[in-house]
Amino acid sequence: MRKLGIGVLGVGEMGRRHAENLRRLVPEARLLAVADVAAARAKEVAEELEIEHSFGKLEDMLALKGIECVVIATPDKFHAQAIRSAAAAGKHILSEKPLATNLADAHSALDAVSQAGVHLQVGFMRRYDPAYSAAMKRIEAGEIGEPVIFKSIGRDKDAPPISAYQSQLNGMLFYNNTIHDFDLARWLMRDEVTEAHAYATVAIRPEVAQYGDIVAGVVNLKYRRGAIGNVESFVQSTYGYDVRTEIIGSAGSILVGSFQQTPATFLTKNGGTQTLADHYLTRFADAYVLELRDFVHNMLNEHPPRVTGEDGLRALEIAVAAENSYRERKPCGVSQVAS
């Protein structure tokens, strides 16, 4: 069987999982190398995964014989630059979300990809989650009629350490987290968002404001064909990693998401409990594997990726509109932002 030669850039929490999946659970992939600006970390991951090559620089990994494709899992602010470098070297790319943290970077990354004639997929792995993809199939089959309302909730469990804000390496909440819901908002509704009206708060952690970030946000959406939507994001639910989405149509509704990680409810003298997922690596474990398998298969067979750079750009445009709306305290047109 021909295998796709792959290198992973940035092997922190997410990149390590991608590398591990590629090494063990994606039969059509051959993980050749990992690279990380923390070269010792790259070496450690390479040893753990029993692969030969580790690098401190992307350029050195790109020069390695056999690398056909790069998975990018650096912090958000470095995605666009890494995409440009990998594209210039003629490699196919799977980049973590967001595509970039501003539109200028996003466009320059997409230009580099199209000039090089390589493929780019953006890591909106929720599209591969079995529950979300089952919902999409039913929407496509017309089971809920014409979608009218989109609602999505994304809550992380634990508040990020203040150092995560201080480093300024990732985009603010709308770019780093809500972007998944913005992608679902387009994909599941099969329509484009034209306007965003955001409210956000730092009330329970005011020190976050000085880093330009927020603790929670709600974003109302308007769609081209007349549908409406609402997305809520919160960085510290404390009780679990809680991701839920509802698509309400003219003929019914689909609710994706559950409070239960395991299909069991535990009843004791203190009351009932359920085991909630506490982290995205648990909740979306299958999706991350399916995402890589599909990407690798498409690259080997010269098919376009299922989630494109254009999808990355459209979701980013909604995030930019949401941020502008929040800062300017008024609704903001998404297409106006894009032009």
Ligand X SMILES: NC(=O)c1ccc[n+]([C@@H]2O[C@H](COP(=O)([O-])OP(=O)(O)OC[C@H]3O[C@@H](n4cnc5c(N)ncnc54)[C@H](O)[C@@H]3O)[C@@H](O)[C@H]2O)c1
Q: What is the binding site for ligand X (CB under 6 A)?
A: 9-15, 36-38, 41, 73-76, 78, 96-97, 123, 125, 170, 176, 280
Q: Closest CB to ligand X among 170 and 325?
A: 170
Q: What is the DSSP letter of 304?
A: P
Q: Closest CB to ligand X among 45 and 144?
A: 45
Q: Closest CB to ligand X among 51 and 227?
A: 51
CB 96 to ligand X: min, Å: 4
Q: What is the DSSP letter of 127?
A: G
Q: Closest CB to ligand X among 171 and 249?
A: 171
Q: Closest CB to ligand X among 227 and 256?
A: 256
CB 106 to ligand X: min, Å: 14
The residue whose two tokens read 């792995």 is 125
Question: What secondary structure does DSSP assign to 77-90, as a single string?
Answer: GGHHHHHHHHHHTT
Question: What secondary structure does DSSP assign to 241-298, as a single string?
Answer: -EEEEEEEETTEEEEE--S-SSS-EEEETTEEEE----SHHHHTHHHHHHHHHHHHHH
CB neighbours of 171 closer than 8 A, spacing ≥ 6? 76, 77, 98, 101, 179, 319
Report the alpha-carbon distance of residue 130 to residue 133 in Å, rounded: 5
CB 311 to ligand X: min, Å: 13
CB 42 to ligand X: min, Å: 8
Residue type, 138: R
Cβ atoms 36, 15 nearer than 8 A: yes
CB 232 to ligand X: min, Å: 17
CA angle 45/53/91 to nearest 5° reads 105
For 181-218, letters b (16+ CB in 10 Å) and e give bbbbbbbbbebbbbbbbbebbeeebeebeeeebbbbbb
Q: Closest CB to ligand X among 97 and 151?
A: 97
CB 125 to ligand X: min, Å: 5
Q: Closest CB to ligand X among 74 and 324?
A: 74
Residue whose beta carbon is closest to ligand X: 12
CB 173 to ligand X: min, Å: 11
CB 126 to ligand X: min, Å: 8
Burial grade of 82 (CB within 10 A; 0-12, 13-18, 19 or more): buried
Closest CA to 202 of 47, 327, 76, 295: 327
Q: Closest CB to ligand X among 38 and 149?
A: 38
Phi, psi of 52 (to 5 degrees): -75, -40
